[in-house]
Chains A and B, each alone.
Chain A
Amino acid sequence: MSLAIKAEHISFSYAKDGPRTLDDVSFEIKEGEYVALIGHNGSGKSTLARILAGLISELDPNASLTVFGMEYDKEHSAEIHSKIGLVFQNPDNQFVGATVRDDIAFGLENRAIDPSLMDAIILESAASVGMEEYLDQAPENLSGGQKQRVALAGVLALRPSLLILDEATSMLDPKGKREILALVRKMRKENPSLTVLSITHDVEEAVESDRVLVLAGGKLILEGKGEEVFSHRELLEENHLESPFVHELSLALREEGVDVEPTLSEEGLLEELCR
C-alpha cells in the first residue's frame, strides 16, 4: 500500500531560536489508514496539523514532508491541498458562508468548479451529513454539532483523499461528538481509501483508530497499535494523558485479580467477562 504521509525530521519553532514546538518528528501514514494523534494541551499537535495542511511552510532544512508521494514544495502544494480536507476545532470560526448552502459552496468556488454543477454537489454532501433540511439556515441558528457537520460536508464536497480532524469534536457536547465520529466512520466505510488523521486529546477517539501516535513536548514519544501504546501507562500519565476507559477497566480488573487481558475493545472485554 502506498503512503499518504511520510514525514521526516519535522522541527519547528514559532520564534527564531525560540523553544521548539516540534522537535524532530518522523512518522508515516499509509493510504486508507485511520491514525489518531494524541497529545496534551500545548504538545505541538495543532502545529503539526497546520504543517500538514500547508498553513506553515517554512520548515527546518533537514525536514522532509511527502504527501501522496509528492514533495511538499511550491510546485506541488496546490495539488496536495486539493487532496486534503480539514476540519478545525471551533465550529464558528470555520463557517465562511452566510448560509449552509453558501458555506459548502465556498470550497467549490475556490476550486473554480462550474457553478451549474454546484447545487447537486451541495445537496449530496449536505445529505450525507444529515443537514439537507438546513440548507438555507444561517450559522447563528445552528448548534455547534450542526456547524461541524456542515464543515464536514464542505470538506466532503471536495472529495479529499486525506481528512485531517484538528480537535474537531473538542468543543462539542457528547451528542455532537458522537455524530461527528459516526459520520467519519461512515465516510471511511463508503470510501475505504480515505486516509484519516484525527488530532485529539480525547483518548476515547483513539480507540477507533488503526494506529496511535503520541506527541508530548514536541516529540513523538509513542507510536503503534492502541493496545501497545496504552500499555505505557506511566509514560502517558507523565505527559498528561490517560488511557481509554475500557483499557483502564481491564487493568483495574487485573489488579483486583480478575483474569482478563488488557484490551481496548469493549466488546472483547464484555465477552471475556461473560465466558
Chain B
Amino acid sequence: MASLSLGRYVPYRSPVHFLDPRTKLFCLVLLIVTVFLGYANYSTTFLMAGVSLVLVLAFFLMTRMRFTALLKSLKSLWFMLIFLLLIYAIMPRSDNLDWVAFFIGNYPIYWASILDALKILVRLMLMIALSLILTASTKPLDLTAGFEWYLSPIRWLGVNTAAWSMVLSLALRFIPTILVDVERIMKAQSSRGVDFQRGKLSVRARALVSLIVPLVVSSLMRSDELADAMEGRGYDPRAKRTRYRKLAFHWGDLIAVLLVGAFFGMCVAMSVLSFDPFLEWFQVAVR
C-alpha cells in the first residue's frame, strides 16, 4: 500500500496548510492555467517554467513535502512521457524546417519537436507537483467542503450539492476500508491456489473475478449497513443540516490570492503581448 502514501494528506503546520481550501483550489486553477500559457518563444517558455518551478519548490519546502514524493509520482508517468516524446518527434512539421537536430535513417528529428515534448513534460510535472501540494496540505474533508462551495451556484438549478459532497466525503472515508478488503480477499483466494501475479490470460481473468465479485458483494453490504446507520442517526439529505466544520477566510487567504493573482496577471500579459524578455533586455543593453 506504500504507493498510496502519494497524494495523501500530511498533517503538518505550514502557511499552505493554513490556507482555506477554497483559496487553495482557486490558486491551483490559476497556477495550472499559468503553467499552460503559451509564450513568445522557447526561451521565454522555459524561463517562465523555471520561475514556476522555483515557486513550486518553495511550496514543497513550506509544506515539508519530500521531493522523492514528486519523483515517485513522475515514475508512474514516465511511460506516458516517452509516448509523448515519440509522438512529437515523429510528427512532421512545417516550421523550423532548417533546424534539424539529427536524423534517424532518412527521417529528420527537429529541435522544435524535442523542445515541444520537453515543454509538455515540464508542464505536466508542474501540474502534478501543484496538485500534490494541494492534496498533501488539505484534509480530504476540507477539500470536499471547498468543492461544495464552488458548486453551490448550481444549487439554484435544483442540484443537491450538499448530498453530492456527502457522497464524495463518504467515498474518501471508505477508500482505506475497501483497500483492507482487497488485501483480505486476495489473501484468502491466494490460499485457495489463486495466483494473482502469473498465469495465462484466462487464468488471470478468473483470478480477477475471484477478487472483484467478493469485493463488490462486501462493498454493497457495507453501503447497505452504512445507509441504515446514517438514517438511524437522523441523516436526511433533504433536511436542513448544520455544519460542524466551517470554512473561513483569513488575511493569509487574501494575500495568497493577491500574490498568485498578480503572478497570473503578469504571465497572461506576457503571453498575450508576446513579450520576449531576452529581446527587450538585449535592446536595453545595446542602447
Interface of A toward B, CB cutoff 8 Å? 50, 53-55, 81-82, 84, 86, 88-90, 92-99, 101-102, 105-115, 118, 138-140, 154-155, 158
Contacts and interface: CB of A to CB of B under 8 A. Distances in A.
Interface in B236-251: 236, 239-246
Nearest to A84: B232
20 contacts: A55-B228, A84-B232, A93-B229, A94-B225, A96-B170, A96-B226, A96-B229, A96-B233, A98-B140, A102-B141, A102-B245, A106-B233, A108-B244, A110-B233, A110-B234, A115-B243, A115-B246, A118-B244, A139-B177, A140-B180
Given A86-B233, A96-B229, A98-B140, 7 more contacts: A81-B234, A86-B232, A98-B173, A106-B233, A107-B234, A112-B242, A155-B233
B58 to A, nearest CB: 28
A110 B225 contact: no
Contact of A113 (B169, B173, B229, B242): B242
B231 to A, nearest CB: 6
Contacts of B225: 88-90, 93-94
Contacts of A89: 225
Contacts of A50: 228
B233 A115 contact: no
A107 B243 CA distance: 11
Contacts of B232: 53-55, 84, 86, 88
A101 B245 CA distance: 10
Contacts of A54: 231-232
Contacts of A95: 173
Contact of A92 (B139, B177, B240, B245): B177
A267 B232 CA distance: 38
9 shortest interchain CB distances as A-B pairs: A94-B229, A105-B244, A110-B234, A93-B225, A86-B232, A140-B176, A107-B233, A98-B141, A109-B241
Interface of B: 139-141, 169-170, 172-173, 176-177, 180, 221-222, 225-226, 228-236, 239-246
Instruction: Choose among B180, B226, B246 the residue with the greatest number of A CB atoms under 10 Å from its CB.
Output: B226
B169 A98 contact: yes
A101 B243 CA distance: 13
Contacts of B246: 115
B139 to A, nearest CB: 7
B157 to A, nearest CB: 24
Contacts of A99: 141
B243 A138 contact: no
B242 A108 contact: yes
Nearest to B172: A98
A159 B231 CA distance: 17
A91 to B, nearest CB: 10
A108 B242 CA distance: 8
Contacts of A112: 239-242
A204 to B, nearest CB: 25
B145 to A, nearest CB: 11
A92 B224 CA distance: 12
Contacts of A82: 234
A109 B228 contact: no
Contacts of A102: 141, 244-245
Nearest to A106: B233
A84 B229 CA distance: 12
B44 to A, nearest CB: 44
B241 to A, nearest CB: 5
A50 to B, nearest CB: 7
A195 B141 CA distance: 35
Residue among B139, B141, B231, B242 having the largest count of chain A Cβ atoms under 10 Å: B242
Contacts of B170: 96
A86 B177 CA distance: 22
Contacts of A138: 176
A113 B239 CA distance: 13
A98 B235 contact: no
A52 to B, nearest CB: 10
Nearest to B233: A107
Nearest to B227: A55
Most chain A beta carbons < 10 A, residue from B139, B222, B230, B234:
B234
Contact of B139 (A94, A98, A106, A158): A98
Given A55-B228, A93-B226, A115 B244 contact: yes
B65 to A, nearest CB: 20
Nearest to B170: A96
Contact of B226 (A53, A81, A94, A110): A94
